[in-house]
Structure 1
Amino acid sequence: MQKEWLFALFFMLMVMQAVGVRLQVRAYRQAVSHLRRRGYVGIGGGRRRLGPGTIVLLACSGDGTIVGAETMQGMTIFSRFRERPDLYGRTVYDFKNELNTYPAKKRKQYKGYEQAADALIGRLQKEAAARQKENSQLEKA
């Protein structure tokens, strides 16, 4: 009889975990689609060994100005995305340079921010190269 109760409890915990993960994935998708409407989106994440993980979403305009920033930090399924309005209006290049000035120990905490900024910088450079190529082809014609 005790084994059945233990199995039922274990099963219920697994179901609750699955429902929680589904809700968290839905929140992630909503946050990404919300930021995509604002501009280019860069995504980064960082996790310590046995500590809370962080997911960072940064959105920037075509000139590199940050127009949206959200982070999710925590270890449980109850973590939600929170806006970071303190980053709005800064350029992604300045933000990346600031992160590079941090000491190594502090940079580990901001790894997700660094990944998101790198993704945005890469995207902006790709867009600039494509525009430059298009302009050079128009000049040749």
Structure 2
Amino acid sequence: MWFAIIAAVVAGWMVQLYFSFHQATAFNKAVVALRAQGTVSVGAGGKRYRGGRAFVAIAVDERDTVVDAITLQGLTTFARARALPGACGQTLRRLGSDREIPALTRQQREAARQAATLFVEGRERATRDAEGGVPTSAG
């Protein structure tokens, strides 16, 4: 009896891992497709068990404007990447600020803010390294 219960739990876990892998692979393919439109940054927002998490990938042009964006949001492993037109046309400065963007949910807003912040920090780090700056980590 116990063996059947444990086997069912393990089987369910394996199925969940399988679908999670395919979800992550599909999102990564969508992110790779964004790279043709500009430099890409990805952020995550929201709480896992309080309203769910959202992932947002933004493609940024040389004028620091979002030219394309996708989001992955849902409570199951069946969620797939979708276009996020509300982020398109926004500047990194606006995405990185606390201002509301009505077309985005709270989770998407947090994820877009993180993606914009990571983009700016990465660019600043690359500029500092190119100029011969001091490394930030000891080691």
- TM-score, length basis structure 1: 0.73
Are the equivalent residues in 1 in contact too, given 2:56–2:69 (CA < 8 A)? Answer: yes
Equivalent residue for 1:114?
A: 113
What is the letter of the counterpart of residue 85 of structure 2?
Answer: P
Q: Percent identity?
A: 26
Equivalent residue for 2:56?
A: 56
Is it true that 1:90 corresponds to 2:90 in the alignment?
A: yes
In structure 2, do the counterparts of structure 1 residues 18 and 101 end up closer, same or farther at CA, with 3 Å as the change threshold?
Answer: closer
Is it true that 1:75 corresponds to 2:75 in the alignment?
A: yes
**Structure 2 gaps, min length 5:** 132-139
Q: Per-residue CA shift, 1:8-44, capped at 9, x if unaligned? A: 3112202201111110120121022111121111111
Question: Matched residues in 1 for 2:13 and 2:96: separation?
Answer: 40
- TM-score, length basis structure 2: 0.74
Cα root mean square deviation, aligned? 2.5
Q: Per-residue CA shift, 1:56-86, capped at 9, x if unaligned? A: 1111111112111011112221111110123
Superposition pairs for residues 1-141 of structure 1, below 5 Å?
2-48=1-47, 50-51=49-50, 52-97=52-97, 100-102=98-100, 109=107, 110-125=109-124, 129=127
Question: Matched residues in 2 for 1:5 and 1:84: separation?
Answer: 44
Higher helix share: 1
**Structure 1 gaps, min length 5:** 134-141
- Structure 1 residue 49: Cα displacement: 5.1
Q: How many positions carry a matched residue from both structures?
A: 124
Equivalent residue for 2:135?
A: none
What is the letter of the counterpart of residue 101 of structure 1?
Answer: R
Question: Matched residues in 2 for 1:49 and 1:81: separation?
Answer: 18
What is the letter of the counterpart of residue 88 of structure 2?
Answer: Y
Larger Rg: 1
SS in 1 for 2:7: helix
Q: Per-residue CA shift, 1:66-112, capped at 9, x if unaligned? A: 11101111222111111012322232223334xx234xxxx964221
SS in 2 for 1:53: strand
Are the equivalent residues in 2 in contact too, given 1:62–1:124 (CA < 8 A)? Answer: no
Question: Matched residues in 2 for 1:73 and 1:12: separation?
Answer: 25
SS in 1 for 2:120: helix
Are the equivalent residues in 1 in contact too, given 2:43–2:57 (CA < 8 A)? Answer: yes
